[in-house]
Amino acid sequence: MTPALLTALGIASSSATLPVTEECVKTQGIPKRIYSFVLPLGATISMDGTALYEAVAAIFIAQIVGVPLNAVQLLVIALTSTLASIGAAGIPEAGLVTIVIVLTAVGLPVDDSIGLLLSIDWFLDRLRTATNVYGDTVAAAIVSKLTGAESLDIKTFASAHEMAETY
């Protein structure tokens, strides 16, 4: 899993990391019929890191501009960040485009807020991409295990999880 995660950190694109990710899960014994479906699907719609980032960024911006958020607004942030992340492209900086949807949904300022996020987003985007790639590989492992694939080496995914925790 190390090559896939390092590639994700280096290029910040789930879609561009896909060939490396496929090679990594193939060496772990996940059948091609599973990873060839799960990984592209995950690279397209499973943007876990982006959803987390957008929710945290919206709350951060609300605190910076001094806008208190009530429970309904927090629920709207959670919902819109999840839905917007599903629609996000697997390319670098896609989260900056979809964060506009989240900020607008709760009435937070967009113009000044994007400037605050832009200065650190290049780095955070790499971490989000690594989170997304790791989540896709875990999903492939789970599907493989649930479908009865016999050659799955769970210990390797445990070591990948330990490596991911160090970042």
What integer pLDDT is reported at residue 48 of this predicted model? 72
Nearest to 131 by CA among 14, 19, 10: 14
**Cβ neighbours, 10 Å, residue 105:** 17
d(CA 107, CA 121) in angstroms, rounded, equals 22
What integer pLDDT is reported at residue 161 of this predicted model? 55
What integer pLDDT is reported at residue 41 of this predicted model? 86
What integer pLDDT is reported at residue 126 of this predicted model? 87
Nearest to 5 by CA among 151, 156, 153: 156
What integer pLDDT is reported at residue 165 of this predicted model? 59
pTM score: 0.70
The phi-psi region of residue 19 (left if phi > 0; otherwise alpha if psi is between -120 and 50; otherwise beta) is alpha
pLDDT digits (tens, 9 = 90+) for 106-136: 888 888 778 888 888 888 888 888 888 898 8
DSSP label at residue 149: -
Place of tokens 């445990």: 158
Residue 160 CA: distances (Å) to CA of 14, 19, 51, 70: 17, 18, 22, 38
What integer pLDDT is reported at residue 129 of this predicted model? 84
User: Position 21: which residue type?
Assistant: T
Listed as ranges, residues in the chain with pLDDT below 50 are 152, 167
d(CA 132, CA 117) in angstroms, rounded, equals 20
